[in-house]
Every structure is written in structure tokens, then in C-alpha cells.
Structure 1
Amino acid sequence: MHFISEELENYTAQHSENEPELLAQLNRETHQKILQPRMLSGHLQGRVLSMLSKLIHPESILEIGTYTGYATLCLAEGLKQNGTLDTIDNNEELYDFQRKYFDKSEWATQINQHLGNALEIIPTLNRKFDLVFIDADKENYINYYEMIVPLMNRGGVIISDNVLWSGKVLEELKPNDKSTKVLLEYNRLLKEDPRVETVLLPIRDGLTVSRVV
């Protein structure tokens, strides 16, 4: 769903930083070989993630939902020299695809892949985070958030993707639509939670930036 015209979206992308060549290759191969390529962050959102990461300059990043690793590499651009990025996904079929591109990047040794249930894996990481990106199953967004907030360093940032859910957050809620129901609750939680300050950006499918106070 386009919240602004496609022409205007293209203009914003054209007047933002260019997509790095490695990410352009990943973008192309994802569209050629992988199901649901619209899940990929893409050029504009990728540059937003990169910019936020560079501004934060994190030592520790957590990503929940790897898909083909596009956003992972965007976030890695801001890592400190000795920093680490832990990314979690439950789709083992994409593991080797992700690793191929991670190994082509300059952050190959800093990116740690984890395969399985994020709610089970996160407590085993034994670290605090400066930056977290949530882009996984919507029904668990609140569960991920509640687990992550106590693990954030003060001033750390949580970025949440797909919070506008193709505009469904403005439509009448269907009785069996659990994902939209959870996202409505999640958006309300981020707005009202005194532990964070939040801004919801109408970028692509909605991107919320929440800073831990």
C-alpha cells in the first residue's frame, strides 16, 4: 500500500543516499528467488535504518526477523568497530542465503545469526542493546517489546516495522484479524508507555522509533 503517491515515493528515494551495490544485488536476488519479496525493507527504508544506526553508533544491535538480511546489513552500517549484531529468524531455508550476503559484507564477523524462536533465544544472549529492530510476526510484537525494554541501555532505540499494516489500523477490525488487533494495542502501548518516547513515521508500511528514557 502506498501512503503517498508512487511518484513521490520514487522522488524521495532518488533524493536520498544511493542504495549500496551489495544491497542492490541482494534486492534483485530476493525478488528473483524468494517468496514474498515485499517483506524486504528496500532502498528508502533501508537508508532510513542506516542513518538511524549511524546516528546511534551502537555497540550492540538486536534484530528480530531477518528475512533475507537486507535490513540487517543496513543496520550494520552504524556498528562500532567492536560492535555485534544478533539477528533472529525461524526460517531455516533462508539461513544460507542470508549468510552468503553477510559474508560478502565488511561486517561478516560481527553479524551473529540465530535460528529459532526469538522469545526463547533473546534471554540466552546475555547482553544489553543500544538498538533493536522488530520486524517479525505481528502477534508477538507486545511480547518482544516487553522482553526487550529491560534489556535496553538508557537512550537505546527500538525500531518497529509494519505498524500501519497496509492501513488496516484505520479500518474496522475484523473479529479474526489478530495481527491488526495486536498492532493497535502495540501502537497504543508505545504512545502511552512512560519508559519510552515515540514517534511513528509514515515510511513505507509504518516505522516507529522509540527511545528508552
Structure 2
Amino acid sequence: MELINPLVEAYTARFTTPESATLREISEQTIAQHPLSHMLSGAVQGQLLTMVCAMIQPRYVLEIGTFTGYSALCLQRGLPEDGMIHTIELRPDDAYTAAENFKKFNANKQITLHVGNAREIIPGLPFTWDLVFIDADKTSYIDYYEMVLPVLSENGFIIADNVLFHGQVLEEPLKGKNAKAIHAFNEHVQNDSRTEQVMLSVRDGISIIKKKKNDEMVF
């Protein structure tokens, strides 16, 4: 399903700060060589991640789903000097590519790559997260959300990618486990009195989620 008119997408890309030469190199390499290149964050979404990071100036960022490292590098561009990104990738081949990209662009001082199952890795990371970017297996979104929410800082944000899942969440009846899982996640967040959120129709859909203050909580 075509979610956004291609002319609109082209126009928004035209009036968005273009990706750097280094990011463009990663983008072109991924598109040319990776069979799942559609999973890459595009230039507009990448610039949005950079902007969000620059606005909130997080000390600790968690990314669940590294892929080839493009989104982590976009986050790193907006990171303060004392900021740190911990990014988790399940697939060893993608983790290797991401590690090479981080090394190539001298990002290792601010990006730590973990290879393995996020469910096992997250509990062992002793940080309070100021920003969490969820872009991994869709059937685990609710689990990831519940894992990170208790360790999200008071002014922290969660960004969830692919919340429109190629438009499949609009179909009736829902088909496919990923579309069903994403729709369930969207409902879960909507019904959670601990948080508030906005869903944006950027690329494949992004939700920005914020923990409510104690005096804002509704039970």
C-alpha cells in the first residue's frame, strides 16, 4: 500500500537537510548489497532522529535493532559530547557491517555495539535511558517497551519505528503476524496511562512516546 504520495515524499526530502556524504555512502552500500535494504532508515527519517537527539541532548541512548548502523550514526550526529549510544543487533552479519561502519566513521567512542538477543542484553545494561529507539522484530515491540519503560528517565522518550507497517495495520481483517503485532503495540501504548504519544506518518510511521509525570498519571 502506498502510504504517502511519492511527490510529497520527494518534496519533503528536497526541503530536508540532505544526508552527509558518509551517511549517503552507508545508504548506497546497503541498498546495493543488502537483500533487506528496505529496512534502512531513509534520509528524512535519519534527519528526524538527528534533530530529536539534538533537541533533548540525551546522555544515554538505547537502540534496539542496529541493522547496518545508519540510524545509530544519525542519532550520534545529534548527541552531546558526553553522550553514549548502546545499540543491539541480533544478526551477526549485520552487526559486523555496522561495526565496520562505526569504525570507518570514528564513532566508536560514542557508540557501543552489542550482538545478540535484546531480551537478554537489555537487563544487563546499567543505565537510565534518555532516549530509546525501537526498530527490531515487530512481534517483540510490546516486550521491549515494557522492558525499557521502567528504566526510562523522567524526561526520556521512546521512538518506535514502523508503526504503520507498510499500511498493513489499516487492513481489515489484519493479516500477518507482524501487522497484528504492530497494531497490538499501537493499542497497548494508546491504552497505557503511564505515557502519552504522538504518531507521525513519516516513512513507515513513527511513534514518539513520553513517560507522564506523576501528577499527570491517570489510573
What SS does the aligned partner of 1:94 have?
Answer: helix
Assess if the C-alpha contact under 8 Å between 1:58 and 1:78 holds in 2. no
- Deviation track 1:75-117 (CA, whole Å, cap 9, x = no partner) reads 1122221211000011101222111211233532111111111
1:205: how far off? 0.6
Of 201-210 and 98-107, the range deviating more from structure 2: 98-107
Assess if the C-alpha contact under 8 Å between 1:56 and 1:78 holds in 2. no
What is aligned with 2:94?
94
- Deviation track 1:134-191 (CA, whole Å, cap 9, x = no partner) reads 000000000000001001001101000001011111102356x222222111111211
What SS does the aligned partner of 1:194 have?
Answer: coil
Assess if the C-alpha contact under 8 Å between 2:168 and 2:174 holds in 1. no
What is aligned with 1:210?
209
Distance 2:139 2:4 in 1: 27
Assess if the C-alpha contact under 8 Å between 2:129 and 2:152 holds in 1. yes
- Structure 2 counterparts to residues 47-196 of structure 1, below 5 A: 47-174=47-174, 177-196=176-195
1:15: how far off? 0.3
What is the TM-score normalised by the length of structure 1?
A: 0.95
Paired residues, number: 212
Assess if the C-alpha contact under 8 Å between 1:169 and 1:184 holds in 2. yes
What SS does the aligned partner of 2:150 have?
Answer: helix
Assess if the C-alpha contact under 8 Å between 2:87 and 2:112 holds in 1. yes
Distance 1:55 1:30 in 2: 28
Assess if the C-alpha contact under 8 Å between 1:165 and 1:206 holds in 2. yes
Unaligned runs of 5+ in 1: none
What SS does the aligned partner of 1:85 have?
Answer: strand
Distance 1:2 1:69 in 2: 26
Distance 1:188 1:174 in 2: 14
- Deviation track 1:114-141 (CA, whole Å, cap 9, x = no partner) reads 1111010000011110000000000000
Identical amino acids, percent of aligned pairs: 41
Matched, 1:8 2:1: no
- Structure 2 counterparts to residues 14-33 of structure 1, below 5 A: 14-33=14-33
1:29: how far off? 0.5
Assess if the C-alpha contact under 8 Å between 1:173 and 1:180 holds in 2. no
**Quick one: which amino acid aligns to residue 15 of structure 2?**
H
Alignment RMSD (CA, Å): 1.2
Distance 1:72 1:27 in 2: 13
Distance 2:188 2:24 in 1: 35
Of 180-189 and 149-158, the range deviating more from structure 2: 180-189
